[in-house]
Amino acid sequence: MDQAVIPHDEFTLRQQAVLDCALQLLVSGGEKGLTTAGLARAANCSKESIYKWFGDRDGLLAAMIAHQASKVRAGAENGHAMDAAQFRRYLTAFAHDLLEVLSGDVSLALNRLAIGQASHADSRLGELLIERGRRRIDQRAMALLEAGKRRGHIHYDNREAAYHTLYGLIVRDLHVRMLLGEGGVRRPDQFDAMADEAVEQFFALFGARVLAEAPTG
């Protein structure tokens, strides 16, 4: 009652608004488009508040990552009585979601930011991005794979290896190409077909029917 809005973050609503504004600036202008003065102007707040809330610029960037990560809900389809077709649908949905997430404006901008900061100094932004953003996707997918294996829909020896293969089949080199800004790579209208094909290939490799030639590594 005294807290009508669930605190999505460790941040105030006002701070979240500022962080959203910062994300928008980052998306539209890249790293150089996000300056403390510009953010203060765009968000109608003072630079002093920004520094009080987030410490310094790196703190702001970390907060932006944390804030954005707190927005994505990890869809947990635990699959009670999941038959083969349902399992396949879940996998396809995961593939589609993954492509959607990776091709999102904010995701691309944050990944570009973290990658740009990855070399000079130990800014740990990359770790933060992986830990806060990717980890829960990985967990969701691997739980799904585990459930599929338990029900005999697929077979594998190494869960992480199987997941990484699935990831590779879905994403291929799309992520890097989008990060590089190559025109004509982002085709959300083809995500359905890409997800279908990736899952098709994944079943060809790990489907329970094909036990004959298990990868010998």
Interface residues with a copy of itself (CB under 8 A) are: 27, 29-33, 108-109, 111-112, 114-121, 126-127, 129-130, 161, 164-165, 167-173, 175-177, 179-183, 193, 196-197, 200-201, 204-205, 210, 213, 215-217
Would you say 19 and 67 are in contact if contact means Cβ atoms under 8 Å apart?
yes
Site membership for DNA, residue 40 (CB under 7 A): yes
Give least dist CB 139 to a copy of itself, A: 15
Minimum distance between the CB of residue 122 and a copy of itself, rounded to whole angstroms? 9
Pick one of DNA, a copy of itself, none as the site partner of residue 40 (Cβ within 5 to 8 A by kind): DNA
User: Nearest-5° angle of CA 166, CA 70, CA 88?
Assistant: 25
Residues 19 and 64 sit within 8 Å (Cβ to Cβ): yes
Site for DNA in 78-107 (CB under 7 A): none
| Three-class secondary structure of residue 207 per DSSP | strand
* Coil, helix or strand at residue 92: helix
Please, what is the minimum distance in Å from the beta carbon of residue 80 to a copy of itself?
Answer: 29
Confirm or reject binding of residue 46 to DNA (CB under 7 A).
yes
By CB under 7 A, tell whether 42 contacts DNA. Answer: no
Nearer to a copy of itself, 7 or 215 (CB): 215
Q: What are phi and psi of 128, to 5 degrees?
A: -60, -45
- In whole angstroms, the minimum distance from the beta carbon of 2 to DNA comes to 12
User: Is the distance from CB of 76 to CB of 90 less than 8 angstroms?
Assistant: no
We find the least distance from the C-beta atom of residue 200 to a copy of itself, in angstroms, to be: 5
Residues 6 or more apart in contact with residue 132 via CB below 8 angstroms: 65, 66, 69
The residues near 9 (Cβ < 8 Å, ≥ 6 apart) are 15, 16, 66, 67, 70
Task: Tell me which residues touch DNA (CB under 7 A).
Answer: 12, 14, 32, 34-38, 40, 44-49, 51-53, 56-57
